[in-house]
Structure 1
Amino acid sequence: MTQTHASAPSRGPASASLLRTAGLPYFLIAFVARLPFAMMVVGVLTVVVSARGSLSLGGLTSAAVGIGTACFGPLLGAAADRFGQRAVLVILAIANSAMLIVFTLVVYSAAVDPLVLLAAFGIGATAPQVAPMSRSRLVAIINERMPEPQRARTLSGTMAYESAADETVFVFGPFLVGIAGSWIAPWAPLIGAAALTVAFVGAFALHPSGRHVSAERGSDGRAPSATSELFRPQLLVVVIGILGVGLFFGATLTSLTAFMADRGAPEEAGLLYGVMGVGSAILALGVAWLPPRFSLRSRWLVFAAILLLGSLLLGFVESPAGMAAVLAVMGIGIGPTLVTQYSFGAARSPLGRSATVMTMLGSAVIVGQSIGSAVTGEIAQTFGTAPALMLPACAAAIVLVAGILNWFASRTRPRTR
């Protein structure tokens, strides 16, 4: 986490003071550095299906990436909290680039399938997760250097910007995978992701904001809060909710691909998916301007309900135009829900463990996406597109149920900063 100086801005990262504190290059570097992470799951799936000719193995390989992230992501966040982000991210930039190259070589070799899965696990285990680290740095600036009356508004704007950046990258990432895979070769996206990781994750690590440990940490680097506070119900319900969002992403993209494949144009699935992503990013940015009386716990319920409603309409869609309209409705729900969940995560982070919490949430998204893609792909291949189109609604229902649980959990004031 950072310990840089900042004056109090009136809004999110677009405000002059926060922008001046971190610097415009920081936001540009942090944005591009997210791309490799967004390209991983889709790039792995694409290259495995191309080289091995197995959609089932491709789904399992994508899931292996998610499992690796789930196992090691929070541990890497804890290491960043303890020792600072710079050292951790430099090591990860090198290790993850190497694993992307190793995985590509293994896929195209005569290696057995378990070795392919192991290499995919290594990709997930070494994933730098720039987005959670960026949130942690900006939260540190807000909590340590800004007047308390302005923190809530600034935090809301920051989470809105970060979520919009994530949405944009997770739409643009698969698009880049498709372009590079079609124009060059199926392995090109992974090699490109390796190059981007070295260049931009390395630059993100070496940025001045990455060299400081949170002021909440003691001189020995220890946090004042116990590890057990990471497992409080108020925080775990947020993790479950954001896992549901990841499941929704994976199920939606995969079922949409099956829907367009039935119409002979599977390559257009990414374009339709972009309708939801762009709308979601715009609505995510708009969350910062919602009135304070529209509380965070109410926002979660309202926008999750919109998400579920849109997902239920998928079963009645018969044309690409109809699908685009339904995806636009779903986009209204997903962006603000994600912003709200990250805001809860930031507010409920135990003292000195912000990076740990943010990587827990980031890991939950990628794990959910991987599982959603694998399960939906298997169902689409075995039972057809219609059952697969029901799975986004199941994921949205998880998000809504978590929001209901959060409503009651919010009645008890959590021990936070």
Structure 2
Amino acid sequence: MTSSHLDRQRTGAPTDQGTTPAPSLLLLAGPAYFPIAFIARFPFAMMVVGTLTLVVAARDSIALGGLNSAVVGLGSALVGPLLGAAADRIGQRPVLLSSGLVNSLALLALAVVAFSDLPDVAVLAVGFVLGASSPQIGPLSRSRLVQLILHRMPADRRARSMNGTMGYESAADETAFVFGPVVVGLLATTMSPAAPMIGAAVLTLVFVTAFALHPTARVEAPASHESVVQAPARELRAPGVLVIVAGALGVGLFFGTVLTSLTAVLSEAGHGESAGLVYGVMGVGSTILALSTSLFPARFSLRARWLVFGTLMLAAMLAFGLAGGALPVMVGAMAVAGIGVGPTVVTLYSLAAERSPQGRSATLMTMLGSATIVGQSAASALTGSVAESTGAGTAVLLPIAAASLVVLAALGNALLGRGPLAVEDAVTSTEAPPAAL
């Protein structure tokens, strides 16, 4: 068998006999990859709520619990991009193995320190280490799959695979963040407040390690005898990149303002216990639409999608602001918001895949994740303060402002010229990049 024949088999192109089927992403990544990557997301999804539950129970202070959760988010936001940069430089495997080990130890340490006689600052310090060492599973998974698509997928299937992959990854993130707090609640109520931290530590040791050791971790790992080829770091500050990060920040602000203002409005109306259910309406629509983006026609460009669905988010929040506490109107607004936010998140990550400077894919993906975390944490604190000091009627204006930022970033993106390598071009190029595995 000739070397060219083997090359065509490896990339999924038809052989001379035309009998080699084009590989699916499931085949390229391996059947174990997706369940491992999905479960590996849960420790982070459990972390913020779990630390809040633990610290409040151990220290009898809601203020300290909320502050510690914010410190966890801050640590993840500040250090996350550095972990992504390290993964681009030395490969994902050593970064994930080391951060997973530190993170699991920090989870156990917080369970001990919270119930100790150490001062509150010790709790906050451990919380920061916990957030800073959080394995960036979602961004790194996206980075791996993008490289598999661009390096191993036949040219005529890349566009649909890219859209479907970004949709799945967004849905996986949202599902983990919906059910992560549920797992925390079950463990905390049936066992002890420290149980979620111990459970998250076990999941981290098992599934983050499995994710790190999975063969797909070699996708972007440089060979030991090769120098790492990376674009200059200043390319991460290019307008086409920063506008995507601004969009991700707006999405984070949107999540934080919506949940907190919704809780405030429903509490004033005497339906506070319904906040989680009403907010869940947005999550359901968001997940369904995120998974449906692969069905969008190619002529519905990424720039147009961001504008259309971002505007839908803004329209939903205008309706929410005018609802006046009417539950049916708020439910409808959350449903429309979900239709908007799901495809918006998918579009942002697709644009990140398009504009990622050479050798810095993981860095950019973690920048988007960190921007979302910063936005959500800051917005939750700000909206809660506004609702407490001026009332829910003022707090409902903040989701409108957050959605406006998403739309403004979309307008800025539309005004920019095309990036150096657009998804529409990269995933349909007739010449595949060299295989990286």
How does the TM-score come out when normalised to structure 1? Answer: 0.90
| AA matched with 2:12 | S
Structure 1 residue 250 corresponds to structure 2 residue 256: yes
Q: What does residue 351 of structure 1 align with?
A: 358
Q: What does residue 117 of structure 1 align with?
A: 124
Q: How many aligned residue pairs are there?
A: 407
Which range moved further: 322-331 or 346-355?
322-331
CA distance 1:55–1:322, change in 2 (3 Å): farther
Which range moved further: 88-97 or 245-254?
245-254
Q: What does residue 239 of structure 2 align with?
A: 233
What SS class does the counterpart of residue 32 from structure 2 fall into?
A: helix
Q: What does residue 314 of structure 2 align with?
A: 308
Q: What does residue 325 of structure 1 align with?
A: 332
Name which of 27, 31, 34 aligns with 1:27. Answer: 34
What SS class does the counterpart of residue 192 from structure 2 fall into?
A: coil
Alpha-carbon deviation of 1:5?
5.2
| Separation in 1, partners of 2:272, 2:185 | 11
CA distance 1:321–1:382, change in 2 (3 Å): same
| Separation in 1, partners of 2:13, 2:247 | 31
| Separation in 1, partners of 2:353, 2:120 | 40
Give aligned-pair identity as a percent: 54
Deviations 1:167-226 (A, max 9, x none): 2112222222233333333333222222211111111111111134357x8943422311
Task: Note the residue ranges of structure 1 that are not aligned, 5 or more in a row.
Answer: 10-14
Q: What does residue 60 of structure 1 align with?
A: 67
| Separation in 1, partners of 2:25, 2:13 | 7
CA distance 1:257–1:7, change in 2 (3 Å): farther
| Separation in 2, partners of 1:161, 1:281 | 9
Matches within 5 A, 1:1-400: 7=12, 17-214=24-221, 219-262=225-268, 266=272, 268-315=274-321, 316-400=323-407
What SS class does the counterpart of residue 300 from structure 2 fall into?
A: coil
Alpha-carbon deviation of 1:322?
3.7
Aligned residues of 1:41 and 1:370 also touching (Cα < 8 A): no
What SS class does the counterpart of residue 406 from structure 1 fall into?
A: helix
Aligned residues of 2:269 and 2:325 also touching (Cα < 8 A): no
Which range moved further: 55-64 or 301-310?
55-64
Alpha-carbon deviation of 1:16?
6.0
Alpha-carbon deviation of 1:276?
1.0
Deviations 1:232-257 (A, max 9, x none): 11001101101111111122222233
Alpha-carbon deviation of 1:78?
1.3
Aligned residues of 2:90 and 2:221 also touching (Cα < 8 A): no
| Separation in 2, partners of 1:121, 1:102 | 12
CA distance 1:74–1:221, change in 2 (3 Å): farther
| Separation in 2, partners of 1:134, 1:148 | 21
Which range moved further: 42-51 or 258-267?
258-267
Alpha-carbon deviation of 1:338?
0.2
What SS class does the counterpart of residue 160 from structure 1 fall into?
A: helix
What SS class does the counterpart of residue 27 from structure 2 fall into?
A: helix
| Separation in 2, partners of 1:341, 1:352 | 19
Alpha-carbon deviation of 1:262?
3.8
What SS class does the counterpart of residue 291 from structure 1 fall into?
A: coil
CA distance 1:250–1:16, change in 2 (3 Å): farther
Aligned residues of 1:168 and 1:278 also touching (Cα < 8 A): no
Task: Note the residue ranges of structure 2 that are not aligned, 5 or more in a row.
Answer: 1-8, 15-21, 427-437
CA distance 1:113–1:256, change in 2 (3 Å): farther
| AA matched with 2:240 | Q
Deviations 1:14-62 (A, max 9, x none): x962111112211011111111112222222333334334443333222
| AA matched with 1:123 | L
| AA matched with 1:238 | I
Alpha-carbon deviation of 1:403?
0.7
Alpha-carbon deviation of 1:112?
2.7
CA distance 1:385–1:83, change in 2 (3 Å): same
Alpha-carbon deviation of 1:378?
2.3
| Separation in 2, partners of 1:160, 1:87 | 28
CA distance 1:40–1:63, change in 2 (3 Å): same
CA distance 1:382–1:181, change in 2 (3 Å): farther
Which range moved further: 54-63 or 322-331?
54-63
| Separation in 1, partners of 2:54, 2:381 | 15
Aligned residues of 1:94 and 1:198 also touching (Cα < 8 A): yes
> CA RMSD for the aligned pairs?
2.4
How does the TM-score come out when normalised to structure 2? Answer: 0.86
Alpha-carbon deviation of 1:88?
1.1
Bigger Rg, structure 1 or 2: 2
What SS class does the counterpart of residue 270 from structure 1 fall into?
A: helix
What SS class does the counterpart of residue 24 from structure 1 fall into?
A: coil
Q: What does residue 12 of structure 1 align with?
A: none
CA distance 1:16–1:268, change in 2 (3 Å): farther
What SS class does the counterpart of residue 82 from structure 2 fall into?
A: helix
